[in-house]
Copies of this chain bind each other. A is one copy, B any other.
Amino acid sequence: MDTPILPIQNDMEFCDEHREGVYKAIFERRDVRGQFKPDDVSDDVLSRILMAAHHAPSVGFMQPWDFMVIKSDEVKKNVHDIFQTAHNEAADMFDETRREIYRNLKLEGILESPINICITCDRDRSGPVVVGRTHMKTMDLYSSVCAVQNLWLAARAEGLGVGWVSIMNEAELKKALGIPKRITVIAYLCVGYVSHFYDKPELETAGWRPRLPIEELMHFDQWGHSEENTLMDQLKTGQSAAQAGKFLKDVL
């Protein structure tokens, strides 16, 4: 164990309310598509969720992200066109049974949400050799993804809905936003206040796919090694509670 040689955090313990807040954000975060309200998002709220993104972990402290804030109706319209083209192409990839369901899914709120945010990754930001990226080359992309998830959770805590739109041709999107070729687009997000948050993910309620039983995703020491142990029991109890909307009340 290290002796601390640098300044350390004084209040390392979370009180019950703080801990509960973290789980509440995690369990009540939703991918929002259809419930955006036109209400203005103030700059202080917007700055806080961007600061949350900027404090994501990053490989080699690279901070490879940039943040584009899009409010222009014209730019949003161009981006929406790019979505629409891709969405039509995507529909054709599903078999007939799913195609109709797919077509009826509401998958984005580009025009209705007051703010769009594009989060990118600049893979050259800190030179060719990056601590922690020497062997796993995608680590910098993953850092920018962590920034997305931080922003998403902070937004939920602020009562803001966020929807991640990924049905777009990246080259077209970059053209619409003037993003240089060397930059990778990680996420295009629709952000705004919402009329409501759904209890469960919409694809789950729509019967598209069920929540997988977490115990089937567990492996112990080696891939494929399952165990009957108290952790597995706790996970089953936890998942039942979460599915009943009682995780915070019964499991925390």
Residues of A within 8 A of B (CB): 1-2, 4, 6-9, 12-15, 17-29, 31, 34-37, 43-44, 46-48, 50-52, 54-57, 59-63, 65-72, 75, 86, 89-90, 93-94, 102, 105-107, 112, 126, 129, 131-136, 138-139, 141-142, 145-146, 148-150, 152-154, 156-159, 164, 166-170, 177-180, 183, 186-187, 194-205, 208-209, 211-212, 214, 217-225, 229-231, 233-235, 237-239, 242, 247, 251-252
- Quick one: which of B13, B94, B138, B148 contacts A146, CB cutoff 8 A? B148
A-B residue pairs in contact (CB < 8 Å), sample of 13: A1-B34, A6-B200, A8-B198, A21-B21, A47-B231, A50-B235, A68-B219, A69-B231, A70-B221, A71-B220, A90-B134, A141-B142, A146-B146
Q: Which of A105, A177, A238 has the most CB of B within 10 A?
A: A238
Q: Nearest Cβ distance between residue A13 and chain B, in whole angstroms?
A: 6
Most buried by B among A57, A59, A135, A159: A135
Whether the Cβ atoms of B200 and A7 lie closer than 8 Å is: yes
Known contacts A68-B220, A231-B69, A235-B47: does B135 contact A168 (CB below 8 Å)?
Answer: yes
Selected contact of A178 from candidates B20, B67, B223, CB within 8 Å = B223
A135 with B48: CB separation less than 8 A: no
Return the chain B residue nearest A25 by Cβ. B22
CA distance A84 to B233 in the complex (A): 36
Docked-complex contact B86 and A135, CB < 8 angstroms: yes
Q: A93 to chain B: closest CB distance in Å?
A: 5
Task: Give the chain B neighbours of A145 by CB distance below 8 A.
Answer: 142, 145-146, 149
> When the two chains form their complex, are residues B26 and A112 in contact, meaning their CB atoms are under 8 A apart?
no
Residue of B whose beta carbon sits closest to that of A225: B178
State whether A8 and B197 are in contact (beta carbons under 8 Å apart), knowing that A1-B35, A209-B60 are contacts in the complex: yes
Asked if B219 contacts A69 (CB within 8 A), the reply is: yes
A220 partner residues in chain B, CB cutoff 8 A:
68-71
